[in-house]
């Protein structure tokens, strides 16, 4: 089997009314992502999804499309897509960075391998060790009435774990978390995510105030440029610390582990440049005795399916204690799949069909195709 073409299709899918998220990175109301199709001479097509976001990795739908059409397609055309590591090596040689773009292509290669073997990706990764993966729903950094309305909605729908966005205003953060804890009661696990929004001093003071609310963890309390401060903050915190934006690469993960800077690592294929890189990071975490949890960039259906396959196969990804962000399709008006994933709440189920186990809805793809996405040239 040989790759004959790699197609990059920009889309723009809105979030549902009332489900937009607000963080220290900004407001997420629509998702300008890229759907990838890797075509082969056998007729099999592999599916991938690039959940590009300039605030995260500097990538946009335009840069992703340009990288694939101008560089990655040329270097992978003619290669055997089943040789995933060799294809990954070629991508690394032809373009640096761009993790979400590379992850989308690699995701499609895993989909092809599964379809070729007539096996789900999770089985190719060693088999599932988790039958169901608990999820957590995310509440944006909104004022108390709006945040409470979302908490009531999510718990009413069966959600058993909540993550609250913080990091814009420490006093408002405390008020928001207090209101949600009072409503949810003691049996609903709650975590907070500052998305780099606090300064070191703000983080110290705010975490101290938040200790009374019995939180599961504090995610990325400070910026990524000071791992030594993250380590110091962890030493002073009675709440476990999770790293997300600080943990993109294996080198990042190793540095955090060596510094004893975190209790939990947030992992998912898009951020790490693919499934293979994600497995390297989970292996480091397992060796260090650190748990992992699956994070998210609010993926659509294809990206979420890839996350489920990875999350179901790794013992170190403790979705029972730290439910995962397998939630993107629940926030969007469409997941671009012909059949929706089984996401609960309260728990998601990994697809069991060949490959990623999903089928692209071509009518929906045309409906949400972003013909206005600007193109940039790499020539």
For residue range 189-226, list pLDDT tens digits in order. 999 999 999 999 999 999 999 999 999 999 999 999 99
pLDDT tens, residue by residue, 279-320: 999 999 999 999 999 999 999 999 999 999 999 999 999 999
The answer to whether residue 377 is domain-embedded is: no
Q: 358-373 pLDDT, tens per residue?
A: 999 999 999 999 988 7
- Do 88 and 154 lie in one domain? The reply is no
- Tally of domains within the chain: 2
Residue 205 counted as domain residue: yes
Could you tell me the CA-to-CA distances from 244 to 164, 195, 267, 320 in Å, in that order? 15, 8, 7, 19
Residue 373's pLDDT is what? Answer: 79
Determine, yes or no, domain membership for 237.
yes
Domain that holds residue 269: 124-348
CB count within 10 Å of CB 234 equals 20
Backbone angles phi, psi at 50, to 5 degrees: -105, 110
Residue 46 DSSP symbol: E
What is the C-alpha to C-alpha distance for residues 96 and 102, in angstroms, rounded to an integer? 10
- Co-location of 185 and 294 in the same domain: yes
Alpha-carbon distance values, 190 to 90, 137, 217, 299 (Å): 42, 10, 8, 22
Q: What is the pLDDT of residues 217-256, one digit of tens each?
A: 999 999 999 999 999 999 999 999 999 999 999 999 999 9
DSSP 238-277: SS-EEESTT-SSHHHHHHHHHTT--SEEEE-HHHHTSHHH
144 assigned to some structural domain: yes
202 and 261 assigned to the same domain: yes
Residue in this structure with the two tokens 């992703």, named with its chain if needed:
64
Residues 155, 106, single domain; the answer is no
Cβ atoms within 10 A of the Cβ of 156, count?
8
Tell me the CA distances in angstroms from 329 to 124, 171, 303, 305, 367, one per residue in order: 25, 32, 10, 10, 16
Indicate which CATH number applies to the domain containing 45: 3.30.390.10
Contact 133, 350 (CB under 8 A): yes
H helix intervals, 118-249? 121-124, 144-156, 170-184, 200-210, 227-236
Cα(226)–Cα(229) distance, rounded to whole angstroms?
Answer: 5
| CA of residue 340 relative to chain centroid, distance | 18
H-run or E-run covering 376: none
**pLDDT tens-digit series, residues 25-84:** 999 999 999 999 999 999 999 999 999 999 889 999 999 999 999 999 999 999 999 999
The predicted pLDDT at position 374 comes to 56
Read off the pTM. Answer: 0.96
Has residue 374 been placed in a domain? no
Q: Is residue 11 part of a domain?
A: yes
Sign of CA dihedral 332, 314, 266, 176: positive
- Token pair 């959940």 in the structure block, residue: 51
Q: With 80 as the cut, is the pLDDT of residue 377 above it? A: no
Looking at the fold, whether 166 and 98 belong to one and the same domain comes out as no
Residue pair 10/369 in contact by the 8 Å Cβ criterion: yes
In whole angstroms, give the CA distance from residue 166 to residue 289.
28
Q: Which two tokens stand for residue 293?
A: 């949890």
Q: Which has the closest alpha carbon to 292: 329, 258, 257, 327?
A: 257
CATH number of the CATH domain containing 167 = 3.20.20.120
């Amino acid at each position: 089997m040989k790759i004959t073409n790699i197609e990059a299709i920009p889309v723009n899918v809105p979030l549902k009314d009332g489900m937009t998220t607000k963080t220290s990175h900004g407001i997420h109301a629509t998702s300008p992502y890229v759907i990838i199709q890797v075509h082969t001479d056998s007729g099999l097509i592999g599916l991938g999804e690039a959940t590009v976001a300039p605030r995260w990795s500097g990538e946009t739908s335009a840069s992703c499309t340009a990288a694939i059409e101008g560089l990655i397609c040329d270097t992978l055309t003619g290669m055997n897509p089943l040789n995933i590591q060799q294809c990954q090596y070629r991508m690394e040689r032809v373009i640096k960075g761009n993790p979400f773009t590379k992850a989308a292509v690699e995701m499609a290669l895993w989909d092809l391998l599964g379809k070729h073997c007539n096996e789900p990706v999770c089985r190719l990764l060693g088999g599932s060790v988790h039958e169901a993966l608990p999820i957590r729903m995310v509440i944006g950094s909104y004022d108390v009435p709006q945040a409470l309305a979302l908490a009531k909605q999510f718990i009413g729908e069966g959600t058993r774990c909540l993550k609250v966005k913080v990091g814009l205003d420490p006093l408002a953060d405390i008020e928001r978390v207090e209101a949600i804890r009072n409503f949810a009661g003691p049996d609903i696990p709650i975590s907070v995510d500052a998305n780099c929004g606090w300064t070191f001093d703000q983080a110290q003071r705010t975490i101290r105030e938040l200790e009374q609310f019995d939180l599961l963890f504090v995610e990325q309390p400070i910026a990524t440029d000071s791992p030594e401060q993250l380590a110091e903050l962890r030493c002073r915190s009675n709440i476990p610390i999770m790293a997300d934006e600080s943990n993109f690469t294996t080198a990042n993960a190793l540095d955090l582990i060596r510094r004893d800077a975190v209790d939990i690592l947030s992992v998912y294929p898009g951020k790490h440049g693919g499934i293979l890189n994600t497995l390297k990071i989970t292996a480091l975490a397992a060796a260090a005795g650190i748990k992992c949890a699956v994070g998210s960039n609010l993926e659509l259906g294809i990206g979420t399916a890839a996350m489920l396959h990875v999350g179901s196969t790794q013992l170190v990804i403790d979705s029972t204690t730290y439910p995962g962000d397998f939630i993107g399709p629940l926030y969007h008006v469409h997941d671009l799949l012909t059949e929706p994933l089984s996401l609960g709440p309260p728990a998601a189920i990994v697809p069991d069909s060949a490959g990623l186990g999903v089928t692209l809805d071509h009518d929906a793809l045309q409906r949400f195709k972003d013909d206005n996405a600007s193109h940039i040239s790499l020539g």
